[in-house]
Amino acid sequence: MLSVRQLTRRYGDITVLDDVSFDVRAGRITGFVGANGAGKTTTMRIMVGVLAPTAGEVLWDGEQATTELRRRFGYMPEERGLYPRMKVLDQLVYFARLHGYSPAAGEERAMHLLSHLGIDGRSGDLLDTLSLGNQQRVQIATALIHEPVALILDEPFSGLDPIAVESMVELLRVEVAPTVPLLFSSHQLELVERLCDDLIILSDGAVVASGSKDELRSTESERYRVVLESGDAAWLRDVAGVRVLDVDGPSALIELDGSVPADVLQALVAREKVIEFARSVQPLSELFSEVVAA
């Protein structure tokens, strides 16, 4: 498990990270979200060791992460850092060799990743002749080239078309061993919602929520979407144990303050025909606005 504890980072008088602690568990995909300037990149750079924290530490299975270990992390920086005038395969083999691969093993690994990403046909091309999306695929291949023990990806999906996103997601699912903690930042909340198991929400340099996606979305009281056959659902406001959050004609979003769902449903059908009574899961975008605005 990869963890950060009480990370603080200051630039002069400005504190951009303030006492940040969280865990990135192995075998789970952890999404890292927060508004522009919240401190995601700063945190990730500290985790891989390219930036020093003002205070706090990065732990691996509870012990301080060494430089040696962090060399085995895979990192996709926000500012993509490849050689534009070098051929795609040559640079992947170059990075593989920096990690101790032989030229043949490096080439094999590189071609394996490129073919997974659907760009093996471009292996002999100069990087800057590829589209931005394809350059990004090469960047992810670079992060994976040495079979990393942990993966930290800063906005890996930004600017990609849906097919490229799918091939990258598929590659991560297949290539990343279940023992590898994977943290990725993104502003695409629907994508984060679909992909991640765990979530960390950062706001103004502080963690405002963290945990499994399901835990974070389950509110104290249960929410249900109710659709009546006709009329106006506003009368639900008078039903005991029900708090109405939203009404739109015959449909309403309600919260049950500890009351038994079956009892509430019974009270509703006694009065009117109910077409739908279904548990409603809070979308991530709503959770995000709630915790960031709090």
Q: Given the rule CB under 6 A, which residues bind ligand ATP?
A: 11, 16, 34, 36-42, 78
Q: Among residues 20 and 143, whose Cβ is nearest to ligand ATP?
A: 20
Q: How far is the CB of 247 from ligand ATP (least distance, A)?
A: 36
Q: How far is the CB of 17 from ligand ATP (least distance, A)?
A: 8
Question: Which of these, 61, 64, 67, 42, lies nearest to 53 by C-alpha position?
Answer: 42
Q: Among residues 20 and 151, whose Cβ is nearest to ligand ATP?
A: 20
Which residue is associated with the tokens 């080239």?
Answer: 145
Q: Among residues 78 and 120, whose Cβ is nearest to ligand ATP?
A: 78
Which residue is associated with the tokens 């100069």?
Answer: 126
The rounded distance, in Å, linking the Cα atoms of 162 and 193 is 15
Which residues have CB under 8 Å from 65's CB, separation 6+? Answer: 2, 49, 57, 58, 59
Residue 181, both tokens: 């903690």
Give me the DSSP letters along 109-177. HHHHHHHHTT-GGGTTSBGGGS-HHHHHHHHHHHHHTT--SEEEEESTTTT--HHHHHHHHHHHHHHS-
Q: How far is the CB of 36 from ligand ATP (least distance, A)?
A: 3
Q: How far is the CB of 160 from ligand ATP (least distance, A)?
A: 16
Q: Among residues 123 and 203, whose Cβ is nearest to ligand ATP?
A: 203
Q: How far is the CB of 202 from ligand ATP (least distance, A)?
A: 7
Phi, psi of 149 (to 5 degrees): -85, -15
Q: Among residues 92 and 151, whose Cβ is nearest to ligand ATP?
A: 151
